[in-house]
Amino acid sequence: MTPLALLLVSLGGGVGAALRFWLDGAVKARTARTAAAWFPLGTLVINVTGSLVLGVVTGLGEAGTLGPSAVAVLGTGMMGGYTTFSTASTETVQLFRSGRTGAAVLNGLGMLVVSVGAAALGLTLGRNT
């Protein structure tokens, strides 16, 4: 990876991270006064949508519609920075600790299953576009 490519991928990651911070804050503001305020919905939405978009991006790359640099900047960079594994893990642990075991299992396993499904859908869409 050339220094310029790494810089562009990093910039993509910065944009993705800011987008995640903004969207999570917006979701939290929306759900703040509802009965669902305790559930970390923002990260779930972010990781599922990010997996879908990464699937589309890598699918487009496989089909030759997108070049390798664009796939790296949009995929590894932007979607990698947008989605997060660390926050998903700490939020699930938080659910376990607050005694919401069902929600914790749902957040841990449900997010995985739906994200993999979204990525598979994205791959199919990207490959056939």
Enumerate binding residues for other proteins (CB under 8 A).
Answer: 1, 6-7, 9-18, 20-22, 24-26, 28-29, 47, 50-51, 53-55, 58, 72, 75-77, 79-90, 92-93, 96, 108-109, 111-112, 115-120, 122-123
In the chain, which ranges are continuous DSSP H helix?
3-31, 41-63, 68-71, 80-82, 86-97, 101-105, 111-127
Nearer to other proteins, 64 or 96 (CB): 96
Nearest CB to other proteins, comparing residues 35 and 43? 43
The smaller minimum CB distance to other proteins, of residues 66 and 82, is found at: 82
Query: Residue 99: left if φ>0, alpha if ψ -120 to 50, beta else—which one?
Result: left
User: Which residue has 């944009």 as its token pair?
Assistant: 15
